[in-house]
Chain A
Amino acid sequence: DGGITQSPKYLFRKEGQNVTLSCEQNLNHDAMYWYRQDPGQGLRLIYYSQIVNDFQKGDIAEGYSVSREKKESFPLTVTSAQKNPTAFYLCATGQESGANVLTFGAGSRLTVL
């Protein structure tokens, strides 16, 4: 069953702690993306990767880091430098190179206490 798996679904952390969100896909898509969804603000792009071992900053990359060591995996680390980390994080993959039709995971909700 092809798809995108994000884990954990819910995560709580204390201020000052780094946390890593997992995103794994078995769709064989080259491109992977991390978006942040906040109420009334739509989806904002954090980082994206079009190929293994390469990634680019999106519109709101400050306080986040990523890696792309395998085609299937694109983990996102929310560092203590991120000022407002409480949010819903969506991972997506892109098919049809150039057309960029996105397939989304179920999301991870991070709450900073």
Chain B
Amino acid sequence: AQSVSQHNHHVILSEAASLELGCNYSYGGTVNLFWYVQYPGQHLQLLLKYFSGDPLVKGIKGFEAEFIKSKFSFNLRKPSVQWSDTAEYFCAVNPPYAGKSTFGDGTTLTVKP
């Protein structure tokens, strides 16, 4: 069974700082990779996804993630965070056609104005 590890449980940054959230997964085959975000008081929603092709994917609100197959990683990045990025971020993986996704424990990001 696949598993997902997010290295940071709580990250605190000042506005304009750069962000990188780590995500590693354990699964030997092809996987689809996702980052979801839960803003305070809002639904969990998709931030970005990787299925195949260019390992650097771009999502909403200036976020991007890089898939490094050799490291089983899919780290989330943003060059300059804003106060509105304060949220909980979840990494998820699923093998294609497995029918289900496995989530990491989540990282709470707090951005100080």
Contacts and interface: CB of A to CB of B under 8 A. Distances in A.
Contact of B103 (A40, A42, A48, A106): A42
Contacts of B94: 100
A102 interface: yes
Interface residues on A, range: 20 to 34
B98 interface: yes
B9 interface: yes
- Name the 8 nearest CB pairs between A and B, nearest first: A42-B105, A43-B103, A104-B44, A98-B97, A42-B103, A100-B94, A42-B106, A98-B96
Given A41-B105, A42-B90, A90-B44, A101 B100 contact: no
Given A42-B103, A42-B106, A102 B90 contact: no
Interface string A89-110: 0101010011111111111000
Interface in A29-65: 31, 33, 35, 40-45, 48, 50, 56, 58-59
Nearest to B10: A40
Contact of B100 (A45, A99, A103, A105): A45
26 contacts: A35-B103, A40-B106, A42-B4, A42-B6, A42-B90, A42-B106, A43-B44, A43-B92, A44-B103, A45-B101, A48-B99, A48-B100, A97-B97, A99-B32, A100-B94, A100-B98, A100-B99, A101-B34, A101-B49, A102-B34, A102-B46, A102-B92, A103-B46, A104-B43, A105-B43, A106-B43
